[in-house]
Chain A
Amino acid sequence: MGQQQPLSVPVLDPVTTSPGLWQSMVAVLRRDLRLSVRQKQDLLNPLLFFVMVVALFPLGVSPESEFLREAGAGILWVGALLATLLSLDHLFRFDYEDGTLEQMALQPQPLFVLVLAKTLAHWLVTGLPLVILTPMLGMMLFLDGNSVAVLCLTLLIGTPVLSLIGSVGAALTVGLRAGGVLLSLLVIPLYIPVLIFGTGTVMAAAGGSDVSGHLALMAAILVLAVILAPLAAAVALKISLSAS
């Protein structure tokens, strides 16, 4: 390289054009999905964890169908919440350690847009598979068809919220050596409202009442999280990077 350059001579006046937001988001999404597919362990671990946590309740508390039917929605929600939590520490850590995060922060696009793409990738490889597994586990816990359907719907709206809220915690703790525990302590209190709404919706459905209001409320939380969480996470990441 060097002496004779077959590549075109670069323009050295300040550059004014850069690829659009959409293109840069797709690039981040594609990279993260590709990495997840190559690192299958990271993909499977939260799912196995989810199944095991759910299996603990019939074994540890009671295998009675009445108990499980009543507690099933709560068990599955807590399981999904813990599985998401488990996977959060990796959300930014590898990118932080290998310098990818620096390069992302230096892209001309606003960082929160790229954080949103990363969080979407995180949900696609952890949250969505959890939702897909839920009908099977719901059946194991003697939930009836209607409850399972509503439960899946609440998880479909709720797990992206978990990823989004988690991204803020992950961004704040990414620079710390042992950030995992602190991350849980930060994030779990923020998960509580989502958990309450999620299980409450399924309870209401089991009681035979209309749940469209509950679902609308959850959707409103999701919209709020999509707007605010990436902004907060981007600021937190910049602070973490600045301190490194």
Chain B
Amino acid sequence: MTEPLQHADHLLRAEGLECERDGRMLFSDLSFSIVPGTLTRVEGPNGSGKTTLLRILAGLNDNWSGQVFWCGEPRQKQWDQVRRNVLYLGHRPGIKMLLTPLENLQALVAGRQAVSETVLVQALDQVGLGPWTHVPCGQLSAGQKRRVALARLLFADEPVWLLDEAFTALDVDAVAAVEGLLEDRVRQGGAVVMTTHHEPAMQGMRRIRLGSAGEPEPVARVAGEAS
């Protein structure tokens, strides 16, 4: 089902990552690969560096040492490529309170993909924001704002998704829907790396464990196919 990439089997690879924050070692000698068709959960207690790790992978954080490769080549040689192919959704997903969901999506996507307005409206419809397409986001609930950000996932063409706390503020149905979406995505050959506090009900999930005391636990890899 999954078509393997010709040039490299992994999309992102980290080798010997080490990050210190405020004089505390978050993780050291951390190595892992992100390959197509997998879902990886970054685990660890609060303050263990989950968000920091995702930001390092996205290229937002520079305070680390080690190596990150994209498709087998050092990442710094091909930043344009990497930025285009990695979608990062953080705690704060860039939703403007004064803009409507549609305008927000248009602004967020404009530099990455050419997506027609029809597709955007359709995506908003699918996340249950159809009636709110033209209401400023400031008037929406926290969960609805989150849905605006997540609507991007319905048409995003990036092979790698980095999702930080994607399930925050979502209701049970929405969580199930996002899980379904991620499973579909993995089945189509996408790679998803996420942090979440609730244990997602997904099969074949890989894990990257970050310790709290500074000593990283060995990276456990659960190999397996998504259902």
Interface residues of A (CB under 8 A from B): 1-3, 5-7, 9-16, 18-19, 23-24, 26-28, 30-31, 34-35, 38-39, 94-95, 97-109, 114, 238-239, 241-243
Contacts and interface: CB of A to CB of B under 8 A. Distances in A.
Contacts of A243: 63
A204 B63 CA distance: 52
Contacts of B140: none
14 contacts: A2-B180, A2-B181, A10-B156, A14-B11, A15-B159, A23-B110, A28-B111, A38-B98, A95-B94, A97-B92, A103-B108, A106-B58, A106-B88, A242-B62
A107 B103 contact: no
B60 A105 contact: yes
A94 B92 CA distance: 11
A15 B157 contact: yes
Contacts of B97: 98
Given A12-B159, A15-B158, A102 B94 contact: yes
Nearest to A23: B110
Nearest to A12: B189
Contacts of A241: 60
Contacts of A15: 84-85, 157-159
B127 interface: yes
Contact of A27 (B36, B62, B88, B111): B111
Given A16-B81, A102-B92, A238-B62, 5 more contacts: A12-B3, A13-B159, A27-B111, A99-B90, A107-B83
A15 B5 CA distance: 12
A174 B72 CA distance: 35
Nearest to A24: B111
A102 B177 contact: no
Interface residues of B, number: 60
Given A10-B188, A34-B99, A106 B60 contact: yes
A211 to B, nearest CB: 41
Contact of B112 (A12, A107, A242): A107
B56 to A, nearest CB: 10
A31 B96 contact: yes
A28 B83 CA distance: 17
B59 A35 contact: no
B114 interface: yes
B22 to A, nearest CB: 11
Interface in B4-61: 5, 11, 36, 58-61
B91 to A, nearest CB: 7
Contacts of A102: 60, 88, 90, 92, 94
B203 interface: no
3 cross-chain pairs, A with B, having the tightest CB-CB distances, nearest first: A2-B180, A99-B92, A27-B110
A3 B114 CA distance: 25
Contact of B111 (A7, A38, A107): A107
Contact of A242 (B11, B61, B93, B95): B61
A114 B107 CA distance: 12
Contacts of B211: none
B102 to A, nearest CB: 12
Contacts of B5: 13-14
A10 B155 contact: yes
B155 A31 contact: no
A23 B188 contact: no
